[in-house]
């Protein structure tokens, strides 16, 4: 069955970005001129995803507003000759069909995904964590769909991590089966360094069968007392094959102010319209 749906959990409090997240959802913080969330919706659309379900929480209504058309603003821009800008404004509303579900309680990533069950409607789907911004063409979702088609199994994006940082992530126990592809035998959420089965850490992209919802329902609270997606994947393994895919691309941690700053600088260097100015800026900042 074609994968045509993406679930994007965006219900978190964004505590690492306080105080700005008092009022602005973390997912709307920009890399240059575009919200983080738009980068991942574009990555999904580029991979052929047609429907995007964003899981939000109360107080984050501006996320939904962002994906609505703003005809007045577009008209004003077009009238003043700023057609390129008008097109940028229109783009967010046209990338994909974006809908929203509310997670009423902050019970964890697994619970956020479970909240989208009805909207997913029994199809295989992609989960994209908007904190994990990955620059590459083709995007990581498109790369993973190829692995899904070749193996027929679920797919989790992973990257090798220096051992001293492994405890911050979900970690897979897996054996290589193909170029960049490993078959998963086990997973652990945020293990201590001693307990980590490998240094292949989960990055926020998953292709999952709809059966994961039954597994999420029988997943007890785990790390931090939250219902963890990683724990549900352990249950999924009992009846589904799961592959880890070492993606091509650079991952930026949009979940922290410094990670977002790094992404902004590197995207600024990569973009033709900003490259020269960012280079000049970096030069002026360099100590003699």
Q: Is cis: bond before 138, omega within 30 of 0?
A: yes
In this complex, which beta carbon is closest to ligand G1P, that of residue 4 or of residue 262?
262
**CA–CA gap between residue 134 and residue 273 (Å, rounded):** 20
Give the span between the Cα atoms of 64 and 73, in whole angstroms: 17
- The least distance separating ligand G1P from the CB of residue 169, rounded to whole angstroms, comes to 3
CB of 159 vs ligand G1P, minimal distance in Å: 10
Nearer to ligand G1P, 52 or 129 (CB): 129
Q: Which is nearer to ligand G1P, 120 or 234 (CB)?
A: 234
Least separation in angstroms between residue 128's CB and ligand G1P is: 11
Q: CB 230 → ligand G1P: shortest distance, Å?
A: 5
Query: How far is Cα 276 from Cα 274, in angstroms, rounded to an integer?
Result: 6
Between 117 and 131, CB nearer to ligand G1P = 131
Give 77 or 112: the residue with its C-beta nearer to ligand G1P: 112
The conformational region for residue 14 under phi > 0 = left, psi -120 to 50 = alpha, else beta, is left
Closest of 194, 185, 186 to residue 167, by C-alpha: 194
Residues that bind ligand G1P (CB under 6 A): 109, 129, 131-132, 169-170, 189, 201-204, 228-230
Supply the minimum distance, in Å, between the C-beta of residue 91 and ligand G1P. 26
What residue is closest to ligand G1P based on CB?
Answer: 170
- Nearer Cβ to ligand G1P, position 30 or 259? 259
Shortest Cβ 55–ligand G1P spacing (Å): 13
């Amino acid at each position: 069955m074609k994968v045509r749906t993406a679930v994007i959990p965006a219900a978190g409090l964004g505590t690492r970005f306080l105080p700005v997240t008092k009022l602005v959802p973390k997912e709307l913080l920009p890399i240059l001129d575009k919200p983080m969330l738009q980068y991942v919706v574009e990555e999904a659309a580029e991979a052929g995803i047609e429907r995007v379900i964003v899981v939000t929480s109360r107080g984050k209504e501006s996320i939904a507003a962002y994906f609505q058309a703003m005809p007045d603003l577009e008209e004003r821009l077009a009238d003043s000759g700023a057609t390129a800008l008008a097109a940028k404004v229109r783009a967010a509303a046209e990338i994909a069909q974006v809908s929203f579900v509310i997670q009423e309680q902050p019970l964890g990533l697994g619970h956020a995904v479970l909240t989208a069950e009805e909207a997913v409607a029994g199809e295989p789907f992609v989960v994209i964590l908007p904190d994990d911004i990955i620059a590459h063409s083709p995007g990581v979702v498109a790369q993973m769909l190829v692995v899904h088609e070749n193996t027929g199994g679920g797919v989790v994006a992973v990257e090798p991590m220096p051992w001293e940082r492994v405890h911050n992530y979900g970690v897979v126990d897996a054996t290589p089966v193909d170029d960049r592809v490993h078959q998963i035998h086990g997973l652990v959420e945020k293990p201590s360094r001693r307990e980590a089965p490998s240094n292949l850490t989960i990055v926020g992209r998953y292709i999952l069968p709809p059966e994961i919802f039954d597994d999420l329902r029988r997943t007890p609270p785990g790390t931090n007392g939250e219902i963890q997606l990683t724990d549900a994947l352990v249950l999924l393994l009992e009846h589904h094959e799961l592959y880890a895919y070492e993606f091509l691309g650079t991952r930026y941690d949009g979940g922290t102010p410094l990670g977002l700053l790094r992404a902004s600088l590197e995207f600024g260097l990569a973009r033709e319209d900003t490259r020269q100015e960012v280079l000049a800026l970096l030069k002026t900042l360099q100590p003699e």
